[in-house]
Amino acid sequence: MSRLIVLSFALFCVSTVYTKAPNQKIQFTSSSGSYVSTYDHLDLTHLLKNDKLVSAYIRCFLDEGVCTSEGKQVKAVLLPEIISTVCSKCSEKQKTMARQVLNHIYVKRRPDFERIMQKYDKQGKYNEIVAFMNEGERTKSA
């Protein structure tokens, strides 16, 4: 599995089931309605250090660069859903991972964070997303 596929998951911190058929849709949710946990074990710190990889996916998500077929599905389905529901289908592990990725982009690439939110936040969830990101910081210091 390419690192680009892994990062598309990591950027929005939910698991996907990567199918081997090139044009087959990725299954993002389980039968229970929550996100699948296939990649909950990923080392996001390592992946987020790869600025070239992060940049490629951000360009994809902002319609400024080439997308893999998986990236296209993530930006069409998963990314808008995660933002609109503030990760409500995420497990606790996925929420922790989502916070890590969101905080990374917010701190290190703030203009990209703002542009992603402008493009995908159709329901005005910006403040809820920021509060969600900060929830992890409150639990760490408690």
SS3 for 104? Answer: helix
pLDDT at 24: 57
Q: Give the residue extent of every domain in the chain.
A: 3-141
User: For residue 138, with 0-12 CB atoms within 10 Å meaning exposed, 13-18 middle and 19 or more buried, which class applies?
Assistant: exposed
Q: Which fold has domain 3-141?
A: Antennal chemosensory protein a6 (1.10.2080)
Residue 96 token pair: 């922790």
Report pLDDT digits (tens) over 1-20: 344 444 454 554 433 333 33
Across the range 118-140, mean pLDDT stands at: 86
CB 17 within 8 A of CB 101: no
- pTM (2 decimals)? 0.76
Report pLDDT digits (tens) over 76-99: 888 898 899 999 988 899 899 889
Taking alpha carbons only, the member of 85, 99, 87 closest to residue 137 is 99
